[in-house]
Amino acid sequence: MEQKWVVFQLEENAYGIDVQSVRSIERVIPITRIPNAASYVKGVINLRGVVTPVIDLRTRLGFEAIEETEETRIIIATLEHGDAGFIVDCANEVVEAADVRIEPLTDQKQDEMTYLTAIAKGEDQLFSLLEPNRLFEEIIHA
Amino acid sequence: MDLNEYLGLFLDESIEHLQAINSSLLIFEQRLDDEAVIDQIFRSAHTLKGMSGTMGYDAIADLTHEMESALDLVRSKTQPATPELIDVLFVAAEQLETMVEDISQGGTGKLDVTTTVIRLKQFIDPDTESGKDTVKAAGTVMMNFECDVYSESVVRQSMASGYQAYVITVELSADVILKAARVYMVFDRLQNLGDVILSNPTSDELEQEQFETRFDVLFVTMKTAEDIQQEIKAVSEVAQVLIQPFEVSVEPAAAATLLEPVEETPAVNTSIETSTETQTPIAAKTIRVNLERIDRLMNLFEEFIIDRGRLERIAAEVGSSDLTETVERIKRGTNELQSLVLTLRMMPIEQVFNRFPRMVRSVSKDVGKNIKLHITGAETELDRTVIDEIGDPLVHLIRNAVDHGIESKADRISAGKPVEGNLSLRAYHSGNRVFIEIEDDGAGINQERVTKIALEKGLLTEEEATLLTPEEAAMLLFAPGFSTAETVTDLSGRGVGLDVVKSKIESLGGEVFVETKRGEGTIFRISLPLTLSIISAMLVKLDQETYAIPLTAIIETTSLKQDVILQAHREKVFDFRGQLVPLISLNQVYGLPHVEADAYSVVVVRSGEKLAGLMVSELIGQQEIVMKPLGSYLEGIRAISGATILGDGQVALIIDSNALLRK
């Protein structure tokens, strides 16, 4: 099957995550704070009866945190250890592999940011491919 | 094929079969000639062999293979069962259990079973007796093909409409590799020529390759014997095909039914009876459902309950009697549904109890005692999660009772008791809790000795010791670092004390009590919640956040004025019934700003012997909550044991007061 990515935005940057690992995209719902967790752990939400952790992707990737807007979305991904969500500025589209060219990262970038896997370049767009499992590694303060 | 997918199934079924083997072995020991029991063990061993072979657990397959071979000799009456065989079988069952346990823990299921295999092989006489036996059996089978009433009437009807009935004996070559495949090909060809009525062995057994090289088929066809012969011979690895006409009236078994055609109904009845006799009674009709699915069902159902709450509020606002009535009906329906959904997770405790007869047998043998185990209430139902966790603590308590509780034979005689000790294992429901009792008729707990040891180990002071009630003294057994065994046996004194048992039970929301009478015996009583998922809790507010504190941990709630709060070594304490108890600011623990006030709401909690006061912003009230895990990503968050979903759909965290009090 042809690969597809859900493409979303953080500030001016676009990122893509494999459609296969996306369970749903939610509007912002009340989040319960988790005390003593990593700074980027936003808390837990009630996702149809399942208590699901949510991280703030801005904080996780080193962007400045902002107030949520109408556009803010929580992308729920199915990961190795269960479902988890991450907050993005907006989720705009699904891009098919046929429309982009995949280019590897520079070695240095790869070492620094293990959650990035490659860059996808299309005619009028460019986005970085994210490996969501990496984002949730070591979520708790040791 | 992804075997992982089948692992859960394999484990569940293996455990079931091991239980069947265990309970059958105990009966077998009593009644060496009980064929049904031998059959049961044989079948379970066989199934285990098949499954473990497929899953690649060779040690299990090897061991079960030898068990099967040995039992086959007993089954075919070639060799009588011996006490030695029973002993080896018990050892084998134990080893199988160890291996299955290891696999369930993510291990490889490898264990050195050579000794057991050799012991089993010694039982299996290596001469060709069994081989001759099968040949003979096959010979007789061919002569009188066992035919039930139904098949016979089919044959008769077919013959009436011009078909020929044959008994076809197919002999595969001795070095056949793909037995099942050849059987399949033979059957496939036969189906094209006519109809297979019966086969010996049965088609299931043939599929599982449970035969030597030879099988018989009762076959009806319009074709001639030569045609069939040719067709089957064309299948490779078929050595010989023997075709004989099958005549209903000549068969002695058949003749009987033919002569009395009027009494066909009783004839049918007998055949049903015998078939039920030979089949093992399979328990109540059940289906296996993945626990995850049930959890999902529960989750969705809880969501539904929350929406129902909203609907109720809306109905109250709208004030339409039709709507109110409908909502009322929904409410009644969902209440019933809720109790039903909750029972889905319940399982009889039998599953745990089943392994104890054998364990008690072997442990008492090891320590040279004569002990009879009485089990009651095995049908009592408990949450699956509790069932999974309660096994180890029970094993410990039972071993403890066998090892320390019941006196040695000599001591019992001099105390004027019967030599045989009694151990009772009971389970029963009471209110919304389940009780499990382990009672022995041993010497009881020696209070002086327990107190003396506790003093020596510094677990309490001289002064405290004089004030102990007998119950309190007995509970010292559960104190960390306590072990009364004078000689450390390899049974109970393995460094793991009863304190582990206690903390395990407490982690399940349970409690353990001891009742003891000198010279008469001891009862360990465990009380467990019916289900882990629903607990009573006190909801509290910290700032704007809502948290839940399990009621089991709470002693009372109180309000403290600023002036009764004392300062002791940089710690806030207060006087609680004459005892200085530390005061913990939950705001501080959970990273919220501490707000100074004139008075604080305080929840006094207990963990073991320790008390503490938890300062909260506001007490909301008591409520039944459904406990939910935080998930692997947030496992290990300090002092949070889980979460729950409140009536408004928001998540509230559950405070782990045990962790707060542990320093």
pLDDT tens by residue, B629-650: 887 788 778 889 889 988 778 8
The candidate with the shortest Cα–Cα distance to B412, out of B367, B439, B442, B371, is B442
- B632 with A81: Cβ contact below 8 A: yes
- B659 to chain A, any CB pair closer than 8 A? The answer is no
Q: Which CATH superfamily is domain B348-529 in?
A: Histidine kinase-like ATPase, C-terminal domain (3.30.565.10)
Residue B242: predicted pLDDT:
83
- Does residue A34 belong to any structural domain of this protein? yes
Distance between B103 CA and the closest CA of chain A, angstroms: 21
Taking Cα atoms as reference points, which of B524, B494, B496, B523 lies closest to residue B510? B524
Predicted pLDDT at B484:
52
Residue B241, beta-bridge partner list: B170
Q: Which of A114-123, B47-56, B137-146 has the lowest mean pLDDT?
A: B137-146
The mean predicted confidence, pLDDT, of chain B is 79
The answer to whether B485 and B492 are in contact (CB under 8 A) is yes
User: CB of B628 within 8 Å of any CB in chain A?
Assistant: yes
Q: Residue B368 above 80 pLDDT? A: yes
Check if B400 is active-site.
Answer: yes
CATH superfamily of B534-661: CheA-289, Domain 4 (2.40.50.180)
Residue A74 placed within a domain = yes
Q: What is the 3-state secondary structure (H, E, C) of B234-288?
A: CCCCEEEEEEEECCCCCCHHHHHHHHCHHHHHHHHHHHHHHHHHHCCCCCCCCCC
Q: How far apart are CA B506 and CA B509, in angstroms?
A: 5
Record: contact B628-A37, CB cut-off 8 A:
no
- Answer with the residue of higher pLDDT: B424 or B166: B424
Contact A32 B651 (CB under 8 A): yes
Tell me which chain B residues have a C-beta less than 8 angstroms from the C-beta of A81. Answer: 631-633
Q: Does B302 touch chain A (CB under 8 A)?
A: yes
CB-based contact B75:B45 (threshold 8 Å): no
Q: How many CA within 13 A on the CB side of residue B539?
A: 17
User: What is B4-126's CATH number?
Assistant: 1.20.120.160
Confidence of residue B211 (pLDDT cuts 50, 70, 90): confident
Q: State whether residue B414 is helix, strand or coil.
A: helix
Residues of A in contact with B652 (CB under 8 A): 32
* Of residues B420, B373, B370, the one with CA closest to residue B398: B373
The number of folded domains in chain A is: 1
Element (H, E) at A69: none
User: Per residue in B144-193, pLDDT tens?
Assistant: 455 666 677 777 777 777 788 888 888 888 777 777 778 888 888 888 88
Q: Quote the Cα angle for B13-B19-B22, to 5°.
A: 145
Judge whether A141 lies within some domain.
no
Contact A120/B at CB under 8 A: no
Strand stretches in B337-432, DSSP E: 346-348, 371-376, 381-383, 421-430
CA of A113 vs chain B CAs: smallest distance (Å) = 20
Residue A9 has pLDDT above 80, yes or no: yes
Tell me: pLDDT of B119 over 60: yes
Whether A142 is in a domain gets the answer no
On the question of pLDDT at B403 being above 90, the answer is no
- In sequence order, which ranges of B107-193 are alpha helices (DSSP H)? 114-123, 129-143, 149-160, 179-193
Does A50 lie at the interface with B, CB-CB under 8 angstroms?
yes
- Beta partners for A41? A55
| Domain ranges, ordered by start, for chain B | 4-126, 131-278, 292-345, 348-529, 534-661
Is position B46 annotated as part of the catalytic site?
A: yes
Which range, A115-119, B487-491, B500-504, is most confident?
Answer: A115-119
Tens of pLDDT along B192-202?
A: 888 888 887 87
Specify the pLDDT at position B306. 77
What is the 8-class DSSP label of residue B565? -
Confidence band (pLDDT; 50, 70, 90) for B532? low
Q: Tell me the pLDDT band of B231, cut-offs 50, 70 and 90.
A: confident
DSSP-derived pairing of the beta strands B381-383 and B371-376: unpaired
Out of B299, B649, B652, name the one closest to residue A50 (CB): B299
- The full 3-state SS of B582-646, as one line of letters, equals EEEEHHHHCCCCCCCCCEEEEEEEEECCEEEEEEECEEEEEEEEECECCCHHHCCCCCEEEEEEC
Q: Pick the closest to residue A41 from A51, A32, A54 (CA basis).
A: A54
CATH 3.30.70.1110 applies to domain B131-278: yes
B4-126 and B131-278, same CATH topology: no
Distance from CA of B297 to the nearest CA of A (A): 10
The boundaries of the domain holding residue A117 are 4-135
Question: Does some domain include residue A13?
Answer: yes
Provide the pLDDT for residue B472.
80
B650 vs A46: CB contact, 8 Å cut-off?
A: yes
Chain B CB within 8 Å of residue A32 CB: yes
Of B384, B380, B379, the residue nearest B429 (C-alpha): B380
Residue A106 within a domain: yes
Give the CATH number of the domain where residue A93 resides: 2.40.50.180
